[in-house]
Structure 1
Amino acid sequence: MSPRNLLFLMTDQHRVDTLGCYGNTTISTPALDSLAAEGTRFDSFYTPTAICTPARASLFTGQHPFRHGLLVNPERNGGGRDEVEDGSPVLSQPLLAAGYNMGHVGKWHIGRARGPEYYAMDGEHLPGALNPVHHPSYEAWLDAKGYPRFAVKDAVFGSATNGTGRGHLIAGRLQQPPEATVEAYLADKTLELLDRYTDAWHTDGKPFMLSCHWFGPHLPYLIPDEYYDMYDPASVPLPASMSETFAGKPDVQRQYSAYWSADDFDADTWRKLIAVYWGYVTLIDHQVARLLDALRARGMWEDTAVVFTADHGEFTGSHRLNDKGPAMYEDIYRIPGIVRVPGCPPQVRDDFATLIDLNPTVLGLAGLPALEPCDGASLLPVLAGEPADGTREQVVTEFHGHHFPYSQRMIRDHRHKLVYNPDSVNELYDLEADPHELHNVHEAPAYAGVRRELTARLYQELLRRGDPAYTWMSYMSDIGGNRAPDVDGVADEVA
């Protein structure tokens, strides 16, 4: 394959069910829907971990979080690395060495201080987890355009459970026009680089990889009135899992529900909050359209692959939770995965894949080999329409904490999901009978065989990866004869 240009689009905390191409019949997402119609839509696409920094670091390094070591967001570091270790293989290195123009606009959040320019990429580091509404570059752009500075009214807050008053900010009406939002600013900056890169492509044949990563629709949902009121709350269904009781579940879920004050909001308020979240998604879709239209206008549509995905999902009231956290539900682990490669067939695939697989896929599009080491596998055969080969029948993910350290591992196939919680009860869900994951059947006798099989498969995969979590399972889980023969470095027969 000849070197291929790539436009890589990413959102933050984006639910799959907010896109028309994934079945939402109310929301308007024409740009992303059209991209899916021309490319491959993955219906079983997952984040390796539902937290920003480790997920993004996995995409950048091609490694599982336990291996690259950025386990949590640096703002609340619970013992992981703050930056990618010097000397680690990262996606930018081989592309730059191959002569690519490489730019990054928007959210980076791979570590604390190092941004895209540290890795010799074009782009400015916008640090942090949330929209950089007071960053000097954004404010200078506002001033140059004559737009008003950031301001919000009618803010919606939760409450703190320890009696200290106000809790997390959830939403608010942004007192700026849509063209003044951070989302529009990031699209503008991406278009500036796209102009430069397409000129180099047409003049010298120099390929490019250009990324635009929006900070939304991550909460708080601070958007202009036009989008805040775009969807009638009466048209928004409440999540079925809002009936969650936490019976038979790890108690941390109940605690996290209280932490995010999910029960502070009645049904009507939740419908409005979800409607605002949908409005945020549409705001971003309109910016996506600007970038896709620019590719076409510049004669680059047939020379450029386009990827759209997210770092993880969001609860928005599902399971009486908000944000993300120590609960491995589909709401935050299953993410959008859309890839359009010119010449590849439009299709919908149910093969399991993750953000880590995008790392060798991007390099493959450039005609380059995968990084060494790499924990992902290229999706190019799948994108080309080749039949499933049996290697993508399950997905295994990990979690190390958010706001506090908390370890979890999960294995999911097309019917069942097992969540391993060393600090609490384990979870098993029959996703065919219980698609909303309300009933933990881990201890149900009828599921004993499924539980044993999935436990053994999870253990075998963690052992294969070298994930240290397998050592606890060796002695604390029902794994039958699958135990590693020398788990502690001392032969079993030695007393």
Structure 2
Amino acid sequence: MKPSILLIVSDQHRLDCVGASGSYPVSTPRLDALAAQGATFSSAYTPIPLCTPARQSLLTGRRPETTGNLWNYDLGPRIPALDPASYSWPRELQKLGYRSRYLGKWHVNPDHDPTDFGYDDWVPLDAYDRWRAQQYPDSSLLEDWFGEVDPVPTADSRTHWFADQTADFIREATASGQPWHARLDFLEPHLPCQPTAEFADRFPVDAIPQWRDFEDPLERKPYIQRQQLLNWGVEDYTWEDWAPIVARYYAVIAQLDDAIGRVLDAVDEAGAAADTLVVYTTDHGDMCGSHGMMDKHYVMYDNVVRVPMIMSWPGMIAEGNVIDGFAYNTLDLPPTISTLTGIPAPPGAQGLALFDHVDTGLIPTAALEAREQVVSTYNGQQFGLFIQRMIRTRSWKYVWNPTDVDELYNLDDDPEELVNRIGDDSSTRILADLRKRLYEQLLHDEDSFVENEWMARQLLTGRKLPTRT
């Protein structure tokens, strides 16, 4: 049986801000319910914490360093966007007879829209802007990066307008009798967070607890992290300054969750639930005050690289299944969809299929359970070019910063990543091992940044200064 596919992708939703994580008082009852009826990947990672290359990887199953799509095409130095001639699994679904629609944020190619990559049609972000301008000609937003309350009713907010558009497609496509694929890309909770009053009122500022990693002096860490505070003008912010920003982040996530519920209700009402694979994930997370920092640039903390990923297919994926194997959301989903639908696999796929078919349904693959590490990368851009490569195991995280101090965190003792262990004599052996493993993985993944003797020397012989002198 080939499932219909509902893929919901948000923008900058950190894992500890899913209600079921129990970490902070953010409310996501619909995502929690979706997880309860399917599988939650508790150790899912983005291969790159940046909008455009993450979305490009989600279409191709290939790392941005392999395809050459290193950063956002609309900020900083220009590089070629993803070629529409590239492999795209939605195009393969289209060949198989799937009806498809893409709704919301695109950010893959400035000159080619989703219909050039295999979608039948597209509802872009500015379609909502035009509708809103007609309905609320006197309503405006300041577009302050730190957020504000959206004055329109929730039913007419961007989250709910796109949810309703998606619901309409699901009802129409299900009635046609064809398998369908809907991809809904929310802009939320990307800053600026602009929840409606209905949701903003649920999170009073004085009830917002401080992030556990907020008090970070950034000692012995790369210079660029302290510079980021200056870039955003938050170097003197206390928790009293951050609490209203975090409250709006919580609020817009709760609003997003409510909108997702409208889409899931449409699947149920159309009688399509048993035949539909539902996937929820995000491109990457958001610092939102963690370590005192803003947004996501130039850091590899779990706040930005560890992401929510939920998959549900009633009768096929076991209910309440928490899968702790290391997974990549944007790299593993294309080969997974290939396995579940029978379309051609991404050529040179750098992820793996997450499930195998058995008589009773789907089970996690042995390859997933055997994966011992994940690698995430960053190539700089918005505030100057700065290369980073991260490798994470269960107990350790190493961040290679070729032009600055490296980072090493013992995650068993320091889950908030506050103490950089680079230069600690007791960590010498684990550091050498992680550098070697990172080098081998990057070489395997065709990352050209290690294909020269100078970069190889840093990783293989430890030719790196442990501190700034």
8 Å contact kept, 2:200–2:247: yes
CA deviations on 1:273-323 (whole Å, 9 max, x unpaired) are: 111110000101110000111111111110101000000000011111111
2:459 aligns to what?
477
Rounded to whole Å, the distance in 2 between the matches of 1:464 and 1:238 is 41
TM-score of the superposition, structure 1-length normalised?
Answer: 0.87
2:414 aligns to what?
434
Q: Please state how far the C-alpha of 1:418 moved relative to its aligned partner.
A: 0.6
Q: Please state how far the C-alpha of 1:152 moved relative to its aligned partner.
A: 2.9
1:15 aligns to what?
14
CA deviations on 1:217-242 (whole Å, 9 max, x unpaired) are: 00001222222221122322211222
Rounded to whole Å, the distance in 2 between the matches of 1:432 and 1:40 is 25
2:164 partner letter: D
Q: Does 1:357 align with 2:347?
A: no
Rounded to whole Å, the distance in 1 between the matches of 2:353 and 2:136 is 44
User: Which of 286, 297, 302 is residue 330 of structure 1 equivalent to?
Assistant: 302
User: Which of 355, 363, 368 is residue 385 of structure 1 equivalent to?
Assistant: 363
Rounded to whole Å, the distance in 1 between the matches of 2:235 and 2:390 is 27
Rounded to whole Å, the distance in 1 between the matches of 2:12 and 2:139 is 22
Count of aligned positions: 452
Rounded to whole Å, the distance in 1 between the matches of 2:456 and 2:131 is 56
Q: Does 1:80 align with 2:79?
A: yes
8 Å contact kept, 1:326–1:402: no
Rounded to whole Å, the distance in 1 between the matches of 2:109 and 2:233 is 29
1:121 aligns to what?
119
8 Å contact kept, 1:363–1:369: yes
The correspondence of residues 275-424 of structure 1 with structure 2, limited to 5 A, is 275-342=247-314, 343-346=316-319, 347-354=321-328, 355-381=330-356, 384-386=362-364, 388-389=366-367, 390-403=369-382, 404-424=384-404
Rounded to whole Å, the distance in 2 between the matches of 1:388 and 1:341 is 20
Q: Please state how far the C-alpha of 1:479 moved relative to its aligned partner.
A: 4.7
Rounded to whole Å, the distance in 1 between the matches of 2:426 and 2:258 is 49
CA deviations on 1:70-128 (whole Å, 9 max, x unpaired) are: 211111143532x21243111222111111112110011112222112224133363xx
The correspondence of residues 87-166 of structure 1 with structure 2, limited to 5 A, is 87-124=85-122, 126=124, 132=125, 135=126, 137-142=127-132, 146-147=135-136, 150-152=139-141
Gaps (5+ residues) in structure 2? 463-469
1:49 aligns to what?
48
Label 1:252 to 1:125 Cα distance change in 2 as closer, same or farther (>3 A): farther
Rounded to whole Å, the distance in 2 between the matches of 1:40 and 1:459 is 32
Rounded to whole Å, the distance in 1 between the matches of 2:181 and 2:191 is 28
Q: Which secondary structure state, in structure 1, belongs to the residue aligned with residue 333 of structure 2?
A: helix
Gaps (5+ residues) in structure 1? 127-131, 158-168, 481-495
Q: Please state how far the C-alpha of 1:147 moved relative to its aligned partner.
A: 4.7
1:51 partner letter: L
Q: Does 1:259 align with 2:231?
A: yes
8 Å contact kept, 2:101–2:122: no
User: Which of 209, 213, 216 is residue 185 of structure 2 equivalent to?
Assistant: 213
Rounded to whole Å, the distance in 1 between the matches of 2:138 and 2:31 is 29
Rounded to whole Å, the distance in 2 between the matches of 1:54 and 1:232 is 35
Q: Please state how far the C-alpha of 1:372 moved relative to its aligned partner.
A: 1.0
Rounded to whole Å, the distance in 1 between the matches of 2:325 and 2:304 is 18
TM-score of the superposition, structure 2-length normalised?
Answer: 0.92
Rounded to whole Å, the distance in 1 between the matches of 2:84 and 2:150 is 40
User: Which of 445, 450, 453 is residue 465 of structure 1 equivalent to?
Assistant: 445
Rounded to whole Å, the distance in 2 between the matches of 1:34 and 1:147 is 34
User: Which of 155, 159, 174 is residue 183 of structure 1 equivalent to?
Assistant: 159
Rounded to whole Å, the distance in 1 between the matches of 2:133 and 2:402 is 52
8 Å contact kept, 1:14–1:314: yes
Q: CA-atom RMSD, angstroms?
A: 2.0
User: Which of 153, 157, 173 is residue 197 of structure 1 equivalent to?
Assistant: 173
Q: Please state how far the C-alpha of 1:476 moved relative to its aligned partner.
A: 2.3
Q: What is the percent sequence identity of the aligned residues? A: 33
8 Å contact kept, 2:99–2:180: yes
8 Å contact kept, 2:148–2:248: no
